[in-house]
Amino acid sequence: MATITVSENHAAQPTTTATKYVYFFGGGKADGNGKMKDELGGKGAGLAEMTNAGLPVPPGFTIQTEACREYMRSGGKVSGDIDKQIETALRRLEELQKQKLGAGENPLLVSVRSGAKFSMPGMMDTILNLGLNDQSVEALAARSNNPRFAYDSYRRLIQMFGNVVLEIPKSVFDEIFDAKKKQKKAKLDTELDAKALKEVIQEYKKAVKKHAKRDFPQNPHEQLVMARDAVFRSWQNDRAKHYRRINNIDDMLGTAVNVQAMVYGNLGETSGTGVGFTRNPATGEKEFYGEFLMNAQGEDVVSGVRTPVHILELQKIMPDVYNQLREITTRLEKHYKDMQDFEFTIQEGTLYMLQTRNGKRTGRAAVRVAIEMVQEGLITENEAIFRVDPNQLYDFLVPTLDEKSSKVEVLATGLPASPGAAVGQIVFTADEAVKKAGHGDKKNPVILVRAETTPEDIHGMEVAAGILTSRGGMTSHAAVVTRGMGKCCVAGAGDIEVNERAREMRVKGQVFHEGDWISLDGTTGRVIKGKLNTVAASAENEDLKTLMGWAEPFRKIGVRANADIPRDAIQARAFGAEGIGLCRTEHMFFDQDRIPHMRAMILADNEKERRAALKRLLPMQRSDFAGLFKAMKGLPVTIRLLDPPLHEFLPKREKLMVDIATLSSADPKQKKALVGEYREYGAKAVGDLKKLLPALLRRVEELHEFNPMLGHRGCRLGITYPEITEMQSRAIFEAAVAVEKEGVKTHAEVMIPLISTVKEMSNQAAIVRRVAEEVFEEKGRHVHYLVGTMIELPRAALVADEIAKEAEFFSFGTNDLTQTTFGFSRDDINKVLPTYLAEGILKQDPFAVIDRDGVGELVRVGIERGRKTRPGLEVGICGEHGGEPSSVEFCHQVGMDYVACSPFRVLTARLAAAQAGASDQLKTEGGRTK
């Protein structure tokens, strides 16, 4: 038990209490226990818990995380108190083992391992065999009667210590070792005998002297202190920081250090070592799962030098040990009430448990394990709900790469922008994608590779199997659109150089052309060379249904989907969406058959021409909306009026400039191609371009904006061009009336974007309501609808009480709200985000996980003020956050009515919302045991 010992020496200064820095475990009893992960880290807590449970654990002690934090705070020092407590613990260990650290005939050797609160496998450093020196190695050789083992252990210590503590490059030692193997004509490490290893040791020591400007420390106590500090420092290494960043682990936690008596799996044929799981971590099946090697050390199992053996084989080799291991791990699972991931060593026939922890598993496994543990009576249904990370439900919805199907050569790693797997031939343009991808049976999978995608690429993105971009973040166009499509996307793979003009991509010195095969893993962000197979997935899963059946009754808030087309809406319904939270109407205009009318509208010189173009778009929008209403069968369909700035629909300014500048010097073929490109704008012959292009550029210049995000968009469009709002409203209400006439209920929620003042809202709401009345009058039928707004600007949240006078619902657009609250352009944030995360300035990407302090306060204020004016105001969220578990929890906490997310996040949102609800309810009831 964690007790804070008050130092008697300081009785005169009653405010000073000594912290307990060191926790001993061994001899069947530990100072700590399994709950003390904050202090002891996961590993240390596990060792204490196993020791207390009477399991065979090599004894030792854990230096708690506070020591690491002190080390960081003080810039690399620890107080004398810590040193004293370590010495005390070490003496206790020596007494228990009846050994002396690195001394005497039977020297005590220890391992020094990091162990943070949250598992960070392989991220921090470990030192084995500590205590060996020129004397004790001889003692070990004599006592083990195995000089080769002793010298090998010693050279491993020097190597690990040299690398980890003294920061000498690993290659220095590798070169010496490889040279020795060559000299001795040895193929395997094990072919080097004791003599050769002694020579290696000599050379290692020289290398240490040369690179570290000091001798390898012969004093075992000095070794221990230096190793401890190196572990502390390893908390701050780049790998560890990176790992914490992606896993949202607080940089301030620090790591504990575990010092433990060494046991050896390489002392001969009755020794061995292995790792295992109490259930299959990939499928969740209840089977004893793992692998081991006889006469080997831990690192041999994972290094791949020798092929490990399935754990069931152990039963044949050492049936007693196997049975003991089975019995222990079964007890551990029962004790922790969760699937265990364990490490063990057999030293000369004696089993030692080195580690146990809750095992990482796939989403499918997580669900199955949770369900079966309920069936086995290990956990309750309420506990099972929390055993699955909502993000993992994605596993049920996307295919995965079959990595055994082919050699895996990772070319680059980008952001895992949209999960799943995709395998296909490279194309560099959306048009080429459409051409290559084919239709129906003759479908050829293509991967669309772009520096970044734009709305004009949509048609190519729709037919592509996956998308790869070299620029852009987790909320770039490619990322957002593909997540909406449930399509695999790797974004911002910066190592890849895309040359769209030359139609090639370069990476790692290799050049890839159109038609070359690549495979994408959107779940990890890996770009893999060549053609791997994929494994399909399906959401129709009984375990999933069972789990959701337990979880859903706790869910207090609704889950809607963002969907722009009927196909997505139907998909979303299948995943359990209870409405459409965001239909982005502009996506409807990028279709090949529509964009010309949209462009005509934008290029119109006057309102009359603009109205004519809008009239041509009206029937198209109407049929889109009708499709959505039919798909949703009376559930709410939230339709956002046109939002993006109009220049997004026109050719890019710089392209026009270049085309104009090069027109006169272009050759006939190029000129003809240009005519083709601008045909839609009225170019019929080369001669037309001279007038047309500058005119087009003039309009594009007029529309050009320095900061489009803060520009002429959202309701500002509808206010300056009320005819756009009129057309869209008409399309919505004509569709709703027509669908209701067919006997299908409708529930339209018309959403005005980018409101910052109530007057904008009243201006636009008045148009919507007027058009609604006109349509109802004309068609002789009235349908139910609401007019509301997105709250996506700080000012809207602040004056929400005013806005709620006109708005019948709020939907928080937290993408834009995050942009404006932080002053971060989400298209540009990648220039600073890596540094910000690395420096700990941000704990996570605020576009991925909602910022509760800043953006969150505005959300809270907006809801509170909105409902002050209009009690019961319907409030939701439609930003990307609506599908992210911790953000969903936040939405639950602040009292939203629903969250909305892309169809493929609906399951995740449902479980996250249920967990939030359950957490609340069980806390209140005091009934939650976890």
What are 342's strand-pairing partners? 276, 356
Question: Do residues 817 and 858 touch, judged by C-beta distance below 8 A?
Answer: yes
Least Å distance, CB 332 to a second copy, is 40
Amino acid at 424: G
Task: Determine the interface stretch with a second copy among 70-78, 218-226, 604-612, 793-801 (rule: CB under 8 A).
Answer: 793-801
What are 526's strand-pairing partners? 413, 521
Please list, in sequence order, all residues whose beta carbon lies within 8 angstroms of the beta carbon of residue 13, skipping any fewer than 6 positions away.
none
> By C-beta, is 495 or 542 nearer to a second copy?
495
Question: Do residues 261 and 106 touch, judged by C-beta distance below 8 A?
Answer: no
> By C-beta, is 367 or 799 nearer to a second copy?
799
Least Å distance, CB 884 to a second copy, is 19
Q: Is 358 exposed, middle or buried (0-12, 13-18, 19+ CB in 10 A)?
A: middle
Task: Determine the interface stretch with a second copy among 76-84, 547-555, 565-573, 798-806 (rule: CB under 8 A).
Answer: 798-806
> By C-beta, is 251 or 920 nearer to a second copy?
251
- DSSP-assigned letter for residue 427: E
640 to 659, contacts with a second copy by CB under 8 A? 653-654, 657-658
> By C-beta, is 593 or 667 nearer to a second copy?
667
Residue in the structure block whose two tokens are 């050492």 = 318
Indicate the helix (H) or strand (E) that contains 201: helix 194-212
Residue in the structure block whose two tokens are 């005390």 = 88
For the record, the structure tokens of 155 come out as 């050279």
In 10 A of CB 54, how many CB atoms? Answer: 11
Question: Do residues 752 and 758 touch, judged by C-beta distance below 8 A?
Answer: no
CA-nearest of 152, 29, 59 to 354 is: 59
> By C-beta, is 443 or 652 nearer to a second copy?
652
**How far apart are the C-alpha atoms of 391 and 909, rounded to whole Å?**
8
Residue 238 in the binding site for a second copy (CB under 8 A): no
Task: Determine the interface stretch with a second copy among 25-33, 139-147, 222-230, 789-797 (rule: CB under 8 A).
Answer: 789-797
Least Å distance, CB 461 to a second copy, is 19
Residue 706 in the binding site for a second copy (CB under 8 A): yes
Task: Determine the interface stretch with a second copy among 422-430, 583-591, 706-714, 775-783 (rule: CB under 8 A).
Answer: 706-714
Residue 665 in the binding site for a second copy (CB under 8 A): yes
Least Å distance, CB 240 to a second copy, is 19
In 10 A of CB 103, how many CB atoms? Answer: 17
What are 789's strand-pairing partners? 752, 810
> By C-beta, is 189 or 839 nearer to a second copy?
839
Question: Do residues 420 and 445 touch, judged by C-beta distance below 8 A?
Answer: no
CA 266 to chain centre: 38
Least Å distance, CB 850 to a second copy, is 13
Residue 824 in the binding site for a second copy (CB under 8 A): yes
Residue 819 in the binding site for a second copy (CB under 8 A): yes
| Interface pick for a second copy out of 840, 868, 923, 927 (rule CB under 8 A) | 840
Residue 502 in the binding site for a second copy (CB under 8 A): no
Residue 852 in the binding site for a second copy (CB under 8 A): no
| Interface pick for a second copy out of 142, 252, 502, 661 (rule CB under 8 A) | 661
SS3 content of the chain, % helix, strand, coil (to 5): 50, 15, 35
Question: Do residues 146 and 268 touch, judged by C-beta distance below 8 A?
Answer: yes
Task: Determine the interface stretch with a second copy among 151-159, 311-319, 829-837, 875-883 (rule: CB under 8 A).
Answer: 829-837
| Interface pick for a second copy out of 799, 873, 896, 914 (rule CB under 8 A) | 799
Active-site residue, selected from the candidate residues 477, 587, 747, 881: 477
**Is 477 among the catalytic positions?**
yes
Q: Which residues of 306-342 are buried (b: 16+ CB within 10 A; e: fewer)?
A: eebbebeebeeebeebbebbbebbeebbeebebbbbb
> By C-beta, is 187 or 831 nearer to a second copy?
831
In 10 A of CB 692, how many CB atoms? Answer: 18
> By C-beta, is 675 or 710 nearer to a second copy?
710
**How far apart are the C-alpha atoms of 391 and 393, rounded to whole Å?**
5
Binding mask 512-551 for a second copy (x = CB under 8 A): ----------------------------------------
Angle between the 686-703 and 653-663 helix axes, to the nearest 10 degrees? 150
CA torsion sign for 638, 644, 646, 647 is: negative
CA-nearest of 570, 571, 563, 565 to 594 is: 565
719 to 758, contacts with a second copy by CB under 8 A? 719-720, 754, 756-757
| Interface pick for a second copy out of 415, 496, 528, 855 (rule CB under 8 A) | 855
Task: Determine the interface stretch with a second copy among 122-130, 325-333, 478-486, 833-841 (rule: CB under 8 A).
Answer: 833-841
Task: Determine the interface stretch with a second copy among 125-133, 226-234, 705-713, 773-781 (rule: CB under 8 A).
Answer: 705-713
Q: Is 720 exposed, middle or buried (0-12, 13-18, 19+ CB in 10 A)?
A: exposed
Residue 455 in the binding site for a second copy (CB under 8 A): no
Residue 251 in the binding site for a second copy (CB under 8 A): no
Give CA separation, 140 vs 102, 132, 137, 880, in Å. 9, 9, 5, 60
For the record, the structure tokens of 464 come out as 């592509």
Residues listed for the chain: 930
Residue 671 in the binding site for a second copy (CB under 8 A): no
Residue 821 in the binding site for a second copy (CB under 8 A): yes
For 493, left (φ over 0), alpha (ψ -120 to 50), or beta?
Answer: beta
Residue 823 in the binding site for a second copy (CB under 8 A): yes
**How far apart are the C-alpha atoms of 456 and 240, rounded to whole Å?**
40
> By C-beta, is 48 or 791 nearer to a second copy?
791
Residue 18 in the binding site for a second copy (CB under 8 A): no
Question: Do residues 610 and 722 touch, judged by C-beta distance below 8 A?
Answer: no
Task: Determine the interface stretch with a second copy among 321-329, 417-425, 556-564, 704-712 (rule: CB under 8 A).
Answer: 704-712
Task: Determine the interface stretch with a second copy among 325-333, 539-547, 555-563, 715-723 (rule: CB under 8 A).
Answer: 715-723
Task: Kindly tell me the number of DSSP H helices and DSSP E strands found in the chain.
Answer: 34, 32
Residue 705 in the binding site for a second copy (CB under 8 A): yes
Question: Do residues 245 and 838 touch, judged by C-beta distance below 8 A?
Answer: yes
Least Å distance, CB 834 to a second copy, is 9
| Interface pick for a second copy out of 15, 606, 707, 924 (rule CB under 8 A) | 707
What are 289's strand-pairing partners? 277
Least Å distance, CB 864 to a second copy, is 14
> By C-beta, is 19 or 757 nearer to a second copy?
757
Amino acid at 749: E
Phi, psi of 73 (to 5 degrees): -65, -40
Least Å distance, CB 655 to a second copy, is 8
Phi, psi of 90 (to 5 degrees): -65, -40
| Interface pick for a second copy out of 33, 825, 886, 921 (rule CB under 8 A) | 825
64 to 93, contacts with a second copy by CB under 8 A? none
Active-site residue, selected from the candidate residues 715, 878, 891, 901: 878
Least Å distance, CB 820 to a second copy, is 5
Question: Do residues 715 and 697 touch, judged by C-beta distance below 8 A?
Answer: no
| Interface pick for a second copy out of 453, 585, 815, 820 (rule CB under 8 A) | 820
758 to 787, contacts with a second copy by CB under 8 A? 759-760, 763
Least Å distance, CB 807 to a second copy, is 15
CA-based R_g, the chain, Å: 33
Please identify every residue annotated as catalytic. 477, 878
- Binding residues for a second copy (CB under 8 A): 653-654, 657-658, 661-662, 664-665, 705-712, 716, 719-720, 754, 756-757, 759-760, 763, 792-795, 798-799, 802, 816, 819-825, 827-828, 831-832, 835-836, 839-842, 851, 853-855, 857-858
